[in-house]
Amino acid sequence: MMPQLIPPPEEVMEILRKTGAYREGHFVYPSGQHTPHYFQMPLAFRYYDTARVLAVALSRKFRTQKEISSALPKVAVISPGPGGIPVAFGVREALSAEQIYWAEREAGGKRMFRQYVNVGEVNPCLIVDDISRTGGAIDETVEIVRQMGTRVIGCGTIVRFTGAPDRLEVPNDDPIPIVSLIEFDAKWYDKAEDCAECKKGVPEENVRF
């Protein structure tokens, strides 16, 4: 089979299923929320071939944006956290971008770059992540990137929950689309009594995050 440059969502979903990165069942989060599906994206990135297909597909979506293609190779690819690091490396390679940075959440909860970064040394950037559930990690990353005096020129995730924003607002400029390979309509139940799987008596599995 010829690899497609941008596989359609159902093909990406099949990759996630096959690798165990997407599962259906009955999951309970530490927050007490119940959900019938669970994404554990790092499972898709433990296979080099799979990781490459996903990252190349995302990079193709970036290449179609003129502001990004014309800025290459002087571009930084930035991950909001550890989950996005393999995405950042894969996208960087596919685009031949110059820099990679990643952030982490410190003990106090504040998101910081893992690398020591001087103001002005980070190229115009793409923020990439494996999954966007609420958009919170991306927003925090946009904030620290702007503090570094760097412009965000693109943003993308492998999976985006439809409840998360599909664009970044930019002061005094056009919003930046958040591209993704899959837009997933996630189901959540805040209380067990509302959960359809509880009603059906499906065994629960507790998950960490």
Nearer to Zn ion, 14 or 194 (CB): 194
**Dist CA 70 CA 73 (whole Å):** 8
Nearer to Zn ion, 25 or 42 (CB): 25
Nearer to Zn ion, 66 or 208 (CB): 208
Least distance CB 8 / Zn ion (angstroms): 31
Least distance CB 186 / Zn ion (angstroms): 14
Q: Distance between terminal CA atoms of the chain?
A: 36
> Which tokens sit at 130?
């494996």
Least distance CB 192 / Zn ion (angstroms): 5
**Dist CA 62 CA 49 (whole Å):** 20
Nearer to Zn ion, 29 or 113 (CB): 29
CA distances from 18 to 15, 21, 67, 71 (A): 5, 8, 35, 36
Least distance CB 24 / Zn ion (angstroms): 13
- Find out whether 116 and 148 touch, Cβ atoms under 8 Å: no
Question: Helix, strand or coil for residue 39?
Answer: strand
CA distances from 166 to 115, 122, 160, 183, 184 (A): 28, 24, 8, 10, 12
Helix, strand, coil percentages in the chain from 3-state DSSP, rounded to 5: 35, 30, 35
Least distance CB 36 / Zn ion (angstroms): 8
- Find out whether 53 and 6 touch, Cβ atoms under 8 Å: no
When CB distances to Zn ion are compared, the closest residue is 195
Nearer to Zn ion, 34 or 133 (CB): 34
Least distance CB 208 / Zn ion (angstroms): 17
Q: Residue with structure tokens 């410190």? A: 106
Nearer to Zn ion, 108 or 203 (CB): 203
Q: Which residues bind Zn ion (CB under 5 A)?
A: 34, 195, 197-198
